[in-house]
Amino acid sequence: MNTAGNPEKARRWLEEARSRTPHHSDGSILGSMTTAPHPIGVEAFKEFIHVNGNDPVIYPVVEEASRILIEGVGALLGAEHGIHTSGGTESNILALYIGRRISRGRENTVVAPSSVHRSIDKACLLMGCRLVKIPVDPLKPVDPGVLEEYVRKHKPFAVVVTAGTTEAGVVDPVKEAGEIAEEHGVFLHVDAAYGGLLIPFLHRRGYLAEDLRMYPGVSSISVDMHKNGCAPIPSSILFLSRRDYIEEACFEMEYMPRGRSCGLLGTRPGGAVIAAAAVFMTIGAKGYEENAVRMMENALYLHENLSHLPMITSYKPILPLNVFKSTIYTYEELFKALLDRKLYVYKSPSLQALRVVVMPHVEKAHLDRLINALKSIHGVQ
Ligand code: 0PR
């Protein structure tokens, strides 16, 4: 067996792999909550690719970037403290871990609406806690009265609500949940991985009644920078209502220059934090607001067009996330038919439907391609 390195073979493989890997710019990625990273982010990530984000002594720039991000994004949410993480899953696990650490004399239980993201199930599996789900209509936010009943009954250490659900873009009542959490002394985590960089803008521009803030009683909010923040993967922020909560997310690590490490990962891409900060600075709050409005208008355009198709049921988008189904095909069949046409949508199993997420890279022309494919699949002219 020849064990010598083969750079040419590696190059050929890379080239071939690139040619068969879809890119956001080709308009086929319509269902995933990812987008093409902003070019300044690509540049920054590449330049700082060697930086270990777990070592703020050799690389103070990582802390600097983290501060820029937390101050910048935090200003939109009235949040001051936070920690940069690798994504929505790490933020959710960390939030519940912190909640567990600070809770005293409560059941090892988490209460959340059934629309909550799967990473909350994952967090509870890892932490050995019981997850009590409140059955909700996937198209509706949780009823605060019902939420309070569950909190009274199960005495959880934490409640999780979602500001922009994975399967329908529903925004739970964050302010009211905060009041309940405060009254019952419960840790309230708001999963705004998807909605964090949409809701404040769409509220201000009149598309949405709900706003997103670190309201009284809210303990943490997660916002993914690699979703609507246009930062390269992996990048998220976990905002915390108190600075000392960050301490709960830090672990003894004697050999590290600071003797400790914060967050769930060890060695991690420092370039991702620096890239996210550079992207945030470049786009600016005004740019994100313009993006949010454009994305929402595109989602409404898709809804409008799908509503005119005889064999399609389309739900009015709450955030720029469209859910639709066919009256003649199952959602699995329709998923497959679109996949065969190289159109990548996602599933919304709770609604037995398909999901399109209108991310920053999605243009009207991409949506027209989807509309035409749906027409052709259903034999509509
Ligand atoms: N919270 C919400 C509300 C989410 O929609 C997601 C991801 C996460 C947390 C987790 O974020 P990370 O993937 O950054 O850890 N939703 C994505 C989506 O719906 C990705 C995804 C999809 C992840 C399905 C897991 C999954 O089972 O496209």
Q: Answer whether 74 contacts ligand 1 (Cβ < 6 A).
A: no
- pTM attached to this predicted model: 0.97
For each of the chain's 381 residues, which pLDDT tens digit applies? Answer: 789 999 999 999 999 999 999 999 999 999 999 999 999 999 999 999 999 999 999 999 999 999 999 999 999 999 999 999 999 999 999 999 999 999 977 889 999 999 999 999 999 999 999 999 999 999 999 999 999 999 999 999 999 999 999 999 999 999 999 999 999 999 999 999 999 999 999 999 999 999 999 999 999 999 999 999 999 999 999 999 999 999 999 999 898 888 899 999 999 999 999 999 999 999 999 999 999 999 999 999 999 999 999 999 999 999 999 999 999 999 999 999 999 999 999 999 999 999 999 999 999 999 999 999 999 999 997
Domain made up of 39-282: CATH architecture: 3-Layer(aba) Sandwich (3.40)
* Nearest CA residue ID for atom 4, ligand 1: 166
pLDDT at 104: 78
Joined tokens for residue 348: 């919304």
Instruction: Return the number of other C-beta atoms located less than 10 Å from residue 314's C-beta.
Output: 19
Q: Answer whether 196 contacts ligand 1 (Cβ < 6 A).
A: no
* Nearest CA residue ID for atom 16, ligand 1: 166
CA distances, 251 to each of 55, 67, 120, 121, 189 (Å):
14, 20, 22, 23, 21
pLDDT at 107: 87
Q: How many residues does the chain have?
A: 381
* Nearest CA residue ID for atom 20, ligand 1: 33
Distance (Å) from CA 166 to ligand 1 centroid: 7
If one residue of 118, 121, 166, 224 were mutated to test the ligand 1 pocket, choosing by the most ligand atoms within 8 A of its CB, it would be: 166
Exposed / middle / buried, residue 101 (Cβ in 10 Å: 0-12, 13-18, 19+): middle
Q: Answer whether 88 contacts ligand 1 (Cβ < 6 A).
A: yes
If one residue of 24, 29, 30, 33 were mutated to test the ligand 1 pocket, choosing by the most ligand atoms within 8 A of its CB, it would be: 33
* Nearest CA residue ID for atom 10, ligand 1: 88
Distance (Å) from CA 93 to ligand 1 centroid: 13
Joined tokens for residue 148: 């309070």
Q: Answer whether 234 contacts ligand 1 (Cβ < 6 A).
A: no
**Domain boundaries of the chain, sorted by first residue:** 7-36+285-377, 39-282
pLDDT at 256: 85
Nearest ligand 1 atom to the CA of 234 is 14
Please, what CATH class does the domain formed by 7-36+285-377 belong to? Answer: alpha beta
Selection from 190, 166, 169 nearest residue 349 by Cα: 166
pLDDT at 2: 84
* Cα–Cα distance, 177 to 159 (Å, whole number): 8
